[in-house]
Structure formats: C-alpha cells, structure tokens
Structure 1
Amino acid sequence: MTGEHRYLLDNARAEAGTRFAALSAIFDPPTFRRIGELGIRAGWRCWEVGAGGPSVPRWLAERVGPTGRVLATDIDVSWTLEAASPVVEVRRHDVARDEPPAETFDLVHARLVLVHLADRERALRSMVAALRPGGRLLLEDADPALQPLSAPYESGPRERLANRIRIGFRAMLAERGADLAYGRRLPALLRAAGLADVAAEAYFPIASPACDLLETATIAHIREGLVTGGHATEEDVDRHLANIADGGMDLATAPMISAWGRAEEK
C-alpha cells in the first residue's frame, strides 16, 4: 500500500517481531478455538492471508498434517518465512491487488488484515472466490471504535496519558485509510458475499503481560509519527513507556470481531 493507505505498522521495522509475538499470545487462543470449531482436520487445504508471523501457519500445518496444505501469504513475508515447511508454502501476495490463487481451499483465514486495506471489497471477493464448495471463511478484524481507550478504567494520570496517546494512534491509523469501525461490519459483509451459516463473536483482551508488550512495541514503532504529528511529545512517550514498564496499569487492545461463514455446495 502506498500514499494515504500505507500500512502504519509495517513488517520491516524491528518492532514487528515483538508485535507478532504479543499478538500471538493475545489472539492465537481464540483464533485456534474458532478454527477448531469450524472442523479443521487432516488433509484440509488452508490459505492464511496476511500471515505476518509464523504462529498461525505452523498451527494450521499441525492440524492438516502431511496430507494437507497451508498457503501463507503477505505483502512482506520476512517473518512468515519461519513457518515454511513441506506443508507450508510461503508466498508474497497482495490480496487487495493480485489475483487469488488458482487453487481452492477448505479454509481461508485473515486476521487483522482487511481493516488496514484500501480495497477491502476486492480483497474479500478474492478470499470468497478461493473457497471450494463447503469451504469456510474466517475473518477477524479489530473495531477500535467499539472501545477506543487504552486504559478503560481511567483511574489516574498514567491512564489519562495512555488514553491520550491511544487517541493519537487511532488518528494516525485513520489518516492511512484504516476503517476503525470495520470489525462490526463483517457478518453483514459475509452474508452479502453469499456465504451461509454466518455468525460472529467479539474478543476483548485486557490487563495481561501480552497487552503491555503489544503496547510497548506499538508505541516504539509509531513514536516518530506521534511526535511529528503533534499527538504527543518525546517526554510524553518516554513517560508512557516508563509507566508500562513499572506495571500496574490495565491496558486493553481493541476488540476483535471474528466472523465466519460457509460457501454453498454447488
């Protein structure tokens, strides 16, 4: 993505690895539970869209076994390559611009991808088109507008500073084309795409070491933009990072909406 739709949290920065580790700790358990409930089994063919880190492709590979296949794609596969194996193919691919894979899949999954894309509609069409009859699509995206605060219990100056910086972060995301209320639209979008058995749930993590780690890595990643954009001073950022390191704050991430549906049998 370029221009106003450039991804704010790109994979090229050193902080990306820490962010992927924190996101995995926070979101892998509900993601894996949901995929398990969708019926994943040996022999399935899976497409992991915008894979980022290696944790989800590796887990999928363990479930589908040597008779299955996992295609893990991203516009930057630097971190995804760690998951490459005889079962996992890692491929550079832009779901919003490139044609979908020629093959079809039993499961297509994307987590925290569509909210950041300029052409979300094309990306969604591409994923739906890649489903084989009866295949499942699982989309998981943040909805920061549902709960916009970093510290939902604003009990003192540390929490007020955290929330002021979160407001700046949200403004930076919006400036780059992110839809901060996208997650809640997922069920309707899946129904409109013709999928059956559509359902959804929300997951709202709060107050964990992984939330602190994610906040620290994210703020380090966007620090320059926060300051140059007038959202915070260098002193603000230093104080916020020190407050996190001291512990005792209940920091939240944005709620994640998981929505799923099934391609009709033909």
Structure 2
Amino acid sequence: MTAQTETDWRQERYRDGVFSHAVDTERHRLRLLESVLDRHTQARLETFGVGPGRRCLEIGGGAGSVARWLAERGAEVTVTDLDVSFLGELADLGVRVLRHDMYTEDFPPGSFDLIHLRYVLVHLPDQDRAISRLVSWLAPGGVLVVEEPAFFPIAGSPHPAYREVMLAFRAYIEDAVGTRTEWARSLPLPLAGTGLVDVEVDTRIQPVQGGDDESEWWRLTLEQSRQQIVARGLVTDEVFERAYTELADPAFFDLSLAVFTAWGRRPG
C-alpha cells in the first residue's frame, strides 16, 4: 500500500455520504444497531473478565454503548472512531476518546488487555493487515474479539422486494465502500494466522420482524444509499417502497445478517 492510498482510502470508500455522521438519522441508526447487538456483545466480553485495571480498546465506537458499558464496569477504556462526534459525552466517565484510523495509526505494542471491534473489518481494504496491527497492540495474555456480519442468509429470502433491495444494497456497498460482504465466513482463520491461541468462533443469524429495531435499522441504512442505488439502475424506487412496506408490517418475518464473533488470546 502506498502512502497516497493510506491517505485517501477513507475518502475513496466512504463517498456519497455512506455511513456518515453528518446524515441526520445516523445517531438514531447506530442506536438501533446497538439495541439489537449489545446483549450478545456484552455476554461475550463478560467471559473474558471486564473490570478495574483491565485496559480496553473499542475500535469504531459508533454511538458509544460498548465503551460506556466497559467503563461502567471499572475498566480503563479507550474508544476510537474516524468521527468521534457521538462519543464526546463518554469523557465524563473517564473514557479516553480518540479520533483515530486503526488502519494507518498505531498504539504502542502491548497497550491493551482487551480489544473489541464490531462491523468494522469488513469495510477495510486489507483485513489481514488490520488484524495483525490489532494483535500487536495486545499485551501478553490479552484478548482480541471481533464481530462481523455476512449477507448470505438474505439471498434466499421468500419476500421479493426485501430480497431485491437488500441484494442491490449489497452490490452497492461492495462497489462504493469496498465492503467484503461475505468475508466474515472466513473467521476464525484470520485470527489464528496471526499467532493468537485459544481461537474460537460462534455464529448466529439475526431475525428481522416488521416494525422491530432491526427492521427500522435496515430502513434507515437503506435510505442513506437509496438515491445512489436507484441512479445506478440496481433497483427502482417502487421496489424500495414495497420493501419498506414489508419491513413495517408486523406480519413480516425473515432473516437478516449472519453475525460471526471470533476471539483469540495473545500468548504469554
């Protein structure tokens, strides 16, 4: 990777306002995502021991719920994001908030006992490079936990509008953002390849029902890219509207993303 692409990769991938904090609904969208993922994240992190003296790094902090949860348990927490505008209030809890690009900016080796990131790696240019960097920041005995989504459950949906819009969105973010929408299926092997030990993975498929938090998260996520998706001819506005009707109908039930959670410990 050249210095030029290190400087420009974010602008190249996050064009058209995709996942931008400047979008009016972005904080609410992130809160909805927290509402459907946090209980799973918290249950997994608890198994590694979270409490006073534990130095924790939360990468891609979003709206801040995981960093807050870690801090409330007495951990020493650093939270980073490319845009920290939703994270400032965490400083009142003693959380160190950093605008930081984990793909190009370093921490000293051995800085953390626990590193967690969620829905981040799939959007990066080189996952193996990113994981190697994360592992270098772990102290001996420290644990890396990654949670990443894959789209494959959606491809077989029996709901035509939902399926068509979601597959169009997948094609769009693969091109516009460079997202590797099925990369998570390779887990846990990318962690094992870095020399981590006690490497494991679990997988679940998120359900989606009309009117629930998952369906509203999807509606807001899709709407951010709707104009660009339609302009590219991937799907029509009429199909978007039918999909939104399905997502709002309490009788609608389907599958959403598969979520892979993988973890490993640095020897020592």
Q: TM-score, normalised by structure 1?
A: 0.89
Structure 1 stretch 52-61 or stretch 214-223: which is displaced more? 214-223
Report deviation, 1:250: 1.3
The answer on 1:55 being equivalent to 2:61 is no
The one of 70, 80, 100 equivalent to 1:73 is 80
Paired position in structure 1 for 2:258: 255
Structure 1 stretch 231-240 or stretch 29-38: which is displaced more? 231-240
The answer on 1:127 being equivalent to 2:134 is yes
Paired position in structure 2 for 1:107: 114
Compared CA separation, residues 10 and 120, structure 1 to 2 (3 A):
farther
Give the residue type in structure 1 aligned to 2:97: V
Aligned positions, number: 255
Question: Structure 2, unaligned stretches of length 5 or more?
Answer: 1-9
Q: Structure 1 residue runs of 4+, over 6 Å off?
A: none
Paired position in structure 2 for 1:219: 222
Paired position in structure 1 for 2:242: 239
Paired position in structure 2 for 1:174: 174
Deviations 1:13-36 (A, max 9, x none): 122112211211111011100000
Report deviation, 1:171: 0.0
Deviations 1:231-255 (A, max 9, x none): 2222222332233223321143211
Give me the whole-angstrom Cα distance separating, in 1, the residues matched to 2:167 and 2:19.
16
Report deviation, 1:102: 6.3
The answer on 1:95 being equivalent to 2:102 is yes
Paired position in structure 1 for 2:6: none
Give me the whole-angstrom Cα distance separating, in 1, the residues matched to 2:28 and 2:223.
11
Would the aligned equivalents of 1:100 and 1:127 in 2 still touch at CA under 8 Å?
no
Would the aligned equivalents of 2:162 and 2:246 in 1 still touch at CA under 8 Å?
no
Report deviation, 1:214: 1.0
Would the aligned equivalents of 1:76 and 1:92 in 2 still touch at CA under 8 Å?
yes
Paired position in structure 2 for 1:15: 25
Compared CA separation, residues 238 and 148, structure 1 to 2 (3 A):
closer
Would the aligned equivalents of 1:75 and 1:93 in 2 still touch at CA under 8 Å?
yes
Paired position in structure 1 for 2:201: 200
Give me the whole-angstrom Cα distance separating, in 1, the residues matched to 2:53 and 2:122.
30
Q: Report the identity percentage.
A: 32
Q: CA RMSD in A?
A: 1.9
Give me the whole-angstrom Cα distance separating, in 1, the residues matched to 2:164 and 2:108.
42
Paired position in structure 1 for 2:46: 36
Paired position in structure 2 for 1:3: 12
Give me the whole-angstrom Cα distance separating, in 2, the residues matched to 1:242 and 1:134.
49
Would the aligned equivalents of 1:77 and 1:91 in 2 still touch at CA under 8 Å?
yes
Give the residue type in structure 2 aligned to 1:135: G
Q: TM-score, normalised by structure 2?
A: 0.89
